[in-house]
Amino acid sequence: MSLRHDHPRFWRDPALPFLEARRVTDGRRVCYARHSHESFSIGAVTGGNSTYWNQGHAETVAPGTVVVMNPEAVHACNPIDERPWSYDMLYLDTAWLGALQRELGAPGHLDVQLYTARSSRHPALYRRLTTLCDTLFDPDAGRLAMETEATALVVEMQRCLTPRMSPSGSDPLGLRRAADYIDTHCTEAIGLDDICRAAGLSRSHLVRCFKAHFGLTPHAFLTDRRVRFARRQLRRGRPIAEVAADCGFADQAHFQRTFKRLQAATPGQYAAGHSSR
């Protein structure tokens, strides 16, 4: 049975747990709400144009553009007037990425080195990224080829992207405590007072400052973390109905709608995205 062109393809392989890939060949109806990832994300626009929003910065991206999302950066990329566009996305585990960056000379005290660029038009970086994705989706490619191309991509990233040598902006302790509380209790029915007590903040301060700092309201942050939790459970092969019940959503229909709004794919499509080999 062939895939519809507007359905995303996912690549995962237990032998390479630090890598995940997504390929969209017709993105006219692939729309994302603003969201974030715990992994480092990097993508290549392979056809058409789209809008790209990352931490308050908006631009139109075209073929040859590489989009760069640091871990936890709130972002979204969407079609323009339902015109065709296509792209490849890679999600790199931060521990794996950080270890390789340190081999390449990144400061040893950093868990992972972030980048200042939100996008790049560097041809060599674009070629490395698309070559890796082509290799991952090639049913005849072996593990060594995949690992080699993945390493070559990081080498090119370190050469082409400007590293962020120090954190940008402050991370007020109270807001970090609030975010950590939401993350830890994301599957529970928590309220604003619960978050404020855990963070030692007033409700007015939390509502006023949380979105300015994290790019999402506390409720949107909670929803984002619930979908992250769902992704992890689906990758483990758990049934969709069980995952929906465990994630804190009102019902399975609510879970399906929310997952698709943030991931531009249904839970079923994501769960089916096992290794293409």
Over residues 138-173, the pLDDT tens digits come to 999 999 999 999 999 999 999 999 888 655 555 688
Mean per-residue pLDDT of the chain: 91
Averaged pLDDT, 77-101: 94
50 close to 11: Cβ distance less than 8 angstroms: no
Alpha carbon of 8 to those of 24, 34, 239: distances in Å? 5, 18, 20
Rg (CA), the chain: 19
| Res. 30 pLDDT band, cuts 50 70 90 | confident
| Res. 122 pLDDT band, cuts 50 70 90 | very high
Please report which helix (H) or strand (E) contains residue 182, including its range: helix 173-184
**What pLDDT is recorded for position 59?**
96
Averaged pLDDT, 107-130: 95
51 close to 70: Cβ distance less than 8 angstroms: no
**What pLDDT is recorded for position 149?**
97
- Domains in the chain (CATH in brackets) are 9-160 (2.60.120.280), 173-271 (1.10.10.60)
Averaged pLDDT, 249-276: 87
Question: Is the pLDDT at 94 greater than 70, yes or no?
Answer: yes
How far is it, in rounded angstroms, from Cα 217 to Cα 231?
A: 21
**What pLDDT is recorded for position 199?**
95
Question: Is the pLDDT at 126 greater than 50, yes or no?
Answer: yes
Averaged pLDDT, 25-39: 90
The number of C-alpha atoms within 13 Å of 252 and in the hemisphere containing its C-beta is: 8
For 87, counting Cβ atoms within 10 Å of its Cβ (0-12 exposed, 13-18 middle, 19+ buried), the class is buried
Question: Is the pLDDT at 275 greater than 60, yes or no?
Answer: no
**What pLDDT is recorded for position 170?**
58
Higher pLDDT, 277 or 129: 129
| Res. 1 pLDDT band, cuts 50 70 90 | very low
Alpha carbon of 261 to those of 85, 244, 267: distances in Å? 18, 15, 11
195 close to 178: Cβ distance less than 8 angstroms: yes
| 256 phi/psi in degrees, rounded to 5 | -60, -45
| Res. 277 pLDDT band, cuts 50 70 90 | very low
**What pLDDT is recorded for position 166?**
54
190-245: pLDDT as tens digits: 999 999 999 999 999 999 999 999 999 999 999 999 999 999 999 999 999 999 99
